[in-house]
Amino acid sequence: MCDYISTHFEYARAVTHASSPIDDVLAHGKGVCQDFAHLMIAILRFFGLPARYVSGYIHRPNKESQSHAWCEAWLPDVGWIGMDPTNNQQVDEKFVRVAVGRDFTDVPPNKGTYRGKGLETIQVRVDTRELPRVPPLSWRDHLPPLEVPLTTILRRRMSAAEEGEQ
CATH code of the domain in which 96 resides = 3.10.620.30
What is the per-residue pLDDT for 144?
65
pLDDT in tens, 133-165: 777 777 667 766 656 555 655 565 566 556 555
What's the total number of domains in the chain? 1
Q: Stretch 110-124: mean pLDDT, rounded?
A: 73
**Would residue 131 count as lying in a domain?**
no
pLDDT in tens, 5-49: 999 999 998 888 877 888 999 999 999 999 999 999 999 999 999
Query: 44 vs 48, 50, 58, CA distance in Å?
Result: 7, 7, 23
**Would residue 124 count as lying in a domain?**
no
Closest by CA position to 93, among listed 130, 51, 146, 66 = 130
DSSP secondary structure letter of residue 51: E
**Would residue 45 count as lying in a domain?**
yes
**Would residue 137 count as lying in a domain?**
no
Domain membership of residue 16 as a residue range: 2-106
